[in-house]
Amino acid sequence: MSDLRDWAEQADLTDPLAWVRERFDLDDGVVYLDGNSLGALPRAVPARVAEVISHQWGRLRIRSWSESGWWDAPQRIGDRIAPLVGARPGHVVVGDSTSVNVFRAVVSALRMTPGRTEVLVDATTFPTDGYITESAARMTGARVRAVRPEDVPAELGPDTALVLLNHVDYRTGRLWDMGALTGAVHSAGARVLWDLSHSGGALPVELDRHRVDFAVGCTYKYLNGGPGAPAYLYVRPDLLPELDQPLTGWCSHADPFGMEPRYRPAPGIARARAGTPEIISLLTLDAALDAWDGVDIAQVRQKSLALTEFFVRCVDELVPGRVRSVTPADESRGSQVSLSCVDAETVMKELIARGVVGDYRPPDILRFGFTPLYTRHVDALRAAEVLAEVLS
């Protein structure tokens, strides 16, 4: 035990990202390992949102659409997320929920591949992606088949239009090989849509490099954008001019203030917008992204691997035999550790009551997220210690 503590304290002392923790509002008495569900509050947010409300809305009112940059905020904030997911400016836009963006991307992709009518959906996905894909397929005359990500290369066929994959499995934390799977999908003449909800902000993502067609992601997990913060959509640069998306609201129009009776899509990524954006939530996210200033995503990944490896080691030493990690032990994992456990729901409630906040996922998973921007090795140790207490 003291070996583990020495190791944790030493690792925290030499952590090149230790300074970033100060950018977050945390409690000393709580070990928060649920940043993969709702990121902690960045300290810059309250004052910035107060300014948006009291000055931009309260004083400038309607003028803020131009003078405070509200109108372009979805593209501008997309450009701030772009480097974290390996995209160039102009190809990421923020707005609506992840679910709505999955709908938009699936319909758009199916329209790009006429004659092909099958969509393969990651059978391990967070359910909303599957529900929405079923709905989009129903409306476009396609059909959906659920396959495990590892089976995708074998299941691709001449009728496959699109494959929807999760970069990191929300349940197990398994990280899939974006380059290899995208290459396999493209070899079959199909398109790929990656859901980055559990990888964006946790590890380097290389959308442009792998020539990914579409990606969506949520901003309230590792990007700390606040509860229900709007999602983002990426469209591959050469596909953007042909993007034909179904939510043709006025903000996606080439001349939104022209009030033209006919629809004409905007030339750039604004064509993936829809209605009036939820400005207060959007600018909360904007303020939250300041926590990334000067942060190297490669260092984030190194720290993430170190934290998750150390947590598994602590669990192995302190909680032997009572739980079993279902997260890959090699580097094919995201920034979480999922432990299979009898009575997992009850155990998680007890952990939370004792100040260790993770979450429960059915049927038997204790899920612990390690947000590298603010989680320390001593937090990982404390979580394992409390888990040992609860299970003893």
Instruction: Pick out the residues of the known binding site for pyridoxal 5'-phosphate.
Output: 98-99, 126-129, 195, 198, 220, 250, 276
Residue of 220, 232, 360, 374 with catalytic role: 220
Q: Is 117 in the site for its own copies (CB under 8 A)?
A: no
Instruction: Indicate the SS3 state at residue 125.
Output: coil
- Cα gap 225→42, rounded to integer Å: 9
| Angle value at C-alpha 218, between 188 and 90, nearest 5 degrees | 70
Which residues, 192 to 231, sit near its own copies by CB under 8 A? 218, 220, 226-231
- Clarify whether 126 is annotated catalytic: yes
Which residues, 292 to 351, sit near its own copies by CB under 8 A? none
Q: Is 374 in the site for its own copies (CB under 8 A)?
A: no
Q: Which of 48, 50, 30 is nearest to 40 (CA)?
A: 30
- Cα gap 206→7, rounded to integer Å: 33
Beta bridge mates, 173: none
Q: Which residue, 139 or 180, is less far from its own copies as judged by CB? A: 139
- Cα gap 270→268, rounded to integer Å: 5
- Considering only the stretches 13-21, 187-195, 249-257, 322-330, report the one whose residues sit in contact with its own copies under the rule CB under 8 A: 249-257
Q: Which residue, 11 or 44, is less far from its own copies as judged by CB? A: 44
Tokens linked to 83: 């480097």
Q: Is 130 in the site for its own copies (CB under 8 A)?
A: yes
Q: Which of 9, 206, 211, 248 binds its own copies (CB under 8 A)?
A: 248
Contact indicator for 244, 224 with CB cutoff of 8 Å: no
Residue 316 falls in which region: left (phi positive, over 0), alpha (psi -120 to 50) or beta:
alpha
Q: Is 112 in the site for its own copies (CB under 8 A)?
A: no
Prior bond to 328 cis, omega within 30?
Answer: no
Contact characters 39-78, its own copies, x per CB under 8 A: -xx---xx--xx--xx-xxxx-xxxxx----x--------
Helix axes 297-318, 2-13, angle to 10 degrees: 170
Which residues, 14 to 43, sit near its own copies by CB under 8 A? 25, 27, 32, 34, 37-38, 40-41
Q: Which of 12, 76, 112, 146 binds its own copies (CB under 8 A)?
A: 146
Catalytic residue positions, numbered: 126, 195, 220-221, 367
